[in-house]
Amino acid sequence: MEYRQLGTTDLQVSTLCLGTMTWGEQNTEAEAHEQLDYAVDQGINFIDTAEMYPVPPMAETQGRTEQYIGSWLRNRSDRDRLVIATKIAGPGPEHLRGGNSRHSKEQLKEAVEGSLERLQTDYIDLYQLHWPARSTNFFGRLGYKPRENDMLTPLRETLEGLQELVQAGKIRHIGLSNETPWGVMRFLSLAEQHGLPRVQSVQNPYNLLNRTYEVGMAEVSHREQCGLLAYSPLGFGMLTGKYLNDQWPEKGRLTLYKRFSRYLNELGKAATAEYVALAEQHDLNPAQMALAFVTSRPFLTSNIIGATSMEQLKTNIDSHAVSLNEDLLKAIDGIHTRIPNPCP
């Protein structure tokens, strides 16, 4: 397993990070613990979760994923070797803080205390803002529309709230998620101007069907030492090929939850078919080729993999040993040129 520096910190994180958002919905507590044990044994030291998980988010399951991690952590003697990341939700979910979730000092403290209790740990290594508390484009939204007074919490106040939590020893470092170039640069600028915590990572979607991170964010990651934590590297499982030709596997996320349609448009299906065929031509597992591509990017810190079965997890983790040659990378870019970013 390869390890990379998390931003400007002294933390070295595995290039594969264990994603957890199915635990408590599609996976039981025992299955979550089995995944954790196996991943750590394979060299993964980075685990990502969120107060909102599992997905789809519901009041009756909210926080269950963190609880599963906590019940596993309490029996470990190597907490200091693990990097645990979680997130505070942005505005939207009605079941979180009365539907009025903000990144204010008060709500940051409340959210962190809740996560610490569920995780059964004294500190969080990387605390992330799950999505912006302002009006902007994320989760695939296009067509930016300016709005007046849409900054629900001033960014400086958010950083000051995070600083208090760092000083209290409850979080070590901070990151962003579903952010824009403007948002990242503004957070970095405020931190430098006022001696506040520096953003160390950005968790945004990135995969063969959505390489929009390369347009503006990749340069920010490179020049500002604020690397990508790539989520949905398989496009909700689409890039495994299991949904091609109108197949709907019984336990597949896109089969179970019709709300997740981002990767199901016709261009996405056409591009997926070409990527799967390309992998097979090179005697590669399509999922491993897709994951290896993401991991190979120079602006990436860690690639967040998730699985609902041990077979899937083993396949995904084994992608760390897959190397893509120049001819294959050129062929991937050829498909991307003809069908660019079909699922932004």
Catalytic residues: 53
Torsion 177-47-127-115 (CA) sign? positive
Q: What is the rounded distance in angstroms from the CA atom of residue 158 to the CA atom of residue 161?
A: 5
Instruction: Quickly list H helices, 126-167.
Output: 155-167
DSSP β-bridge partners for residue 16: 303
Alpha-carbon distance of 66 to 99, in angstroms, equals 20
Using CA atoms, how far apart are residues 176 and 188, in angstroms rounded to an integer?
11
For residue 108, give the nearest of 61, 145, 160, 147 by alpha carbon.
160
Residue-by-residue DSSP string for 285-332: -HHHHHHHHHHT-TTEEEEEE--SSHHHHHHHHGGGG----HHHHHHH
Residue with tokens 């810190």: 301
Q: Kindly tell me the burial class for residue 326, based on how many C-beta atoms sit within 10 Å of its own C-beta (0-12, 13-18, 19 or more).
A: exposed
Q: Using an 8 Å Cβ cutoff, are 229 and 264 in contact?
A: no
Let me know: does 341 contact 212? Beta carbons within 8 Å. Answer: yes
E strand segments, 190-309: 199-205, 227-231, 300-305
* Rounded distance between C-alpha atoms, residue 109 and residue 256, angstroms: 35
The partner residues of 333 in beta bridges, in order of sequence, read none
Q: Is 152 exposed, middle or buried (0-12, 13-18, 19+ CB in 10 A)?
A: middle
